């Protein structure tokens, strides 16, 4: 099965309401949809989202990376020589991990179709259901609490709270959630790099009575020493997100014991092929992974769900992006019911 033709198209999917993190604010998500036609007629579909603030990519840069570098190098290659195709994709140009991820997803889709297997089975088939946490977008403490209340009513058992520079507000919000919404709710905090290492220690200490499950990316992406320094001083699990893009990042983080959990996102690591390697490196070091996503559409969210379902070492799932979209089209290959994600046969 040889790669014959690449087709790209842009689309914008509106969100139900504005979504905020410490890094950015969004009312819609835009992505490039990548369709790759094979010489036997199979068309693999992938997508790549532009996350300027995280990956540095724009829709235009994704398109040009694929049109000018990736497509010319991959066209004509035979998917039977999978490792060679993946080597060519990852080596086609430096960085541009979202563009590579979109192409990787499309190629895996084509491979799964040719093998007549759903992608989650092709990748390992460990489980067919997942439970996602629900993210609370950064807002006033009152609004965030309201959202938390609503999420718990809808059956979510894990809340991921986006926190920012206002440490006091974050502590008060967690206190209120824990005291009013029950002991069983898992509380995950995502600082998106907003704190110094010392601030992180202060907040985590203050939050001790409220049993936070984990804190994600407390310090800036490149402050690995800070991540390790925090991890050595607190009981709460520390998860790396913006600090882990590549397989090499993952290896360095686990060998320096700088994180308890790695958050794998296809748009950061360049796709499923690299994500599997990251997960195995982590697994070898006894470190579990979360599979998360950027604000992404259904195509790449499905690919991420398949990865999460396929792999035993993926023990946490943050794939709620689809739930923030205004429903404009039916989901293909999976469905959501509250916190549950069911993968189709
Ligand atoms: Mg994060």
Each domain of the chain, given as residue ranges in start order, spans 3-115, 121-343
Six-digit token pair at 294?
């950027």
User: For residue 293, how far is its CA from the centre of ligand 1 (angstroms)?
Assistant: 8
**What is the spatial distance between Cα 131 and Cα 155, in angstroms, rounded to a whole number?**
11
> Do residues 107 and 43 touch, judged by C-beta distance below 8 A?
no
User: For residue 76, how far is its CA from the centre of ligand 1 (angstroms)?
Assistant: 37
**What is the spatial distance between Cα 171 and Cα 222, in angstroms, rounded to a whole number?**
25
- Please indicate whether residue 162 is annotated as part of the active site: yes
User: For residue 241, how far is its CA from the centre of ligand 1 (angstroms)?
Assistant: 5
342 strand-pairing partners: 129, 335
Q: What is the DSSP string of 136-162?
A: E-S--HHHHHHHHHHHHHTT--EEEEE
Phi–psi pair at 27, nearest 5 degrees: -115, -10
User: For residue 227, how far is its CA from the centre of ligand 1 (angstroms)?
Assistant: 14
Six-digit token pair at 123?
């990748």
From 100, 121, 160, 265, the catalytic residue: 265
Which pLDDT value is given to residue 222? 95
Which pLDDT value is given to residue 96? 97
User: For residue 23, how far is its CA from the centre of ligand 1 (angstroms)?
Assistant: 10
Six-digit token pair at 39?
């010489």
The CATH code belonging to domain 121-343 is 3.20.20.120
User: For residue 208, how far is its CA from the centre of ligand 1 (angstroms)?
Assistant: 21
**What is the spatial distance between Cα 14 and Cα 24, in angstroms, rounded to a whole number?**
16
User: For residue 192, how far is its CA from the centre of ligand 1 (angstroms)?
Assistant: 6
**What is the spatial distance between Cα 258 and Cα 250, in angstroms, rounded to a whole number?**
10
Which pLDDT value is given to residue 61? 98
Which pLDDT value is given to residue 260? 98
C-alpha Rg value of the chain to the nearest Å: 20
> Do residues 188 and 152 touch, judged by C-beta distance below 8 A?
no
Which pLDDT value is given to residue 22? 67
pTM: 0.96
As assigned by CATH, the class of the 3-115 domain is alpha beta
Which pLDDT value is given to residue 272? 98
From 100, 121, 160, 162, the catalytic residue: 162
Which pLDDT value is given to residue 20? 83
- Please indicate whether residue 2 is annotated as part of the active site: no
Q: What is the DSSP string of 306-344?
A: HHHHH-TTEEEEE--GGGGB---S--SSEEEETTEEEE-
User: For residue 51, how far is its CA from the centre of ligand 1 (angstroms)?
Assistant: 12
Six-digit token pair at 97?
């991990």
Residues in the chain predicted with pLDDT less than 50, given as ranges, are none
Which pLDDT value is given to residue 94? 96
């Amino acid at each position: 099965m040889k790669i014959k033709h690449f087709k790209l198209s842009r689309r914008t999917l509106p969100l139900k309401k504005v979504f905020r993190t410490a890094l950015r604010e969004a009312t819609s998500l835009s992505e490039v949809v990548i369709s790759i036609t094979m010489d036997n007629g199979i068309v693999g579909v992938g997508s790549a989202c532009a996350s300027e603030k995280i990956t540095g990519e724009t829709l235009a840069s994704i398109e040009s990376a694929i049109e000018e570098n990736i497509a010319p190098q991959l066209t004509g290659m035979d998917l039977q020589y999978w490792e060679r195709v993946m080597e060519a994709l990852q080596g086609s140009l430096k960085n541009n991990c979202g563009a590579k991820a979109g192409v990787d997803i499309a190629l895996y889709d084509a491979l799964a179709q040719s093998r007549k297997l759903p992608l989650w089975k092709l990748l390992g088939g460990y489980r067919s259901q997942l439970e996602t946490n629900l993210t609370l977008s950064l807002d006033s403490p009152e609004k965030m609490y309201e959202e938390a209340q609503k999420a718990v009513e809808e059956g979510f058992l894990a809340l991921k709270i986006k926190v920012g520079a206002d440490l006091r507000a974050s502590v008060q919000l967690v206190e209120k959630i824990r005291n009013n919404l029950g002991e069983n709710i898992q509380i995950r905090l995502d600082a998106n790099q907003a704190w110094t290492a010392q601030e992180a220690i202060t907040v985590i200490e203050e939050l001790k009575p409220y049993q936070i499950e984990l804190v994600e990316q407390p310090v800036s992406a490149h402050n690995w020493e800070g991540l390790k320094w925090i991890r050595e001083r607190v009981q709460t699990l520390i998860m790396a997100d913006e600090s882990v893009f590549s397989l090499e990042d993952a290896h360095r983080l686990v060998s320096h014991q700088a994180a308890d959990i790695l958050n794998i996102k296809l748009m950061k690591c360049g796709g499923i092929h690299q994500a599997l390697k990251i997960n195995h490196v982590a697994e070898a070091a006894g470190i579990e992974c979360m599979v998360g996503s950027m604000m992404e559409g259904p195509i790449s969210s499905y690919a991420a769900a398949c990865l999460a379902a396929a792999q035993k070492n993926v023990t946490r799932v943050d794939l709620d992006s689809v739930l923030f979209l205004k429903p404009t089209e039916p989901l293909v290959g999976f469905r959501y019911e509250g916190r549950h994600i069911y993968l189709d046969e």
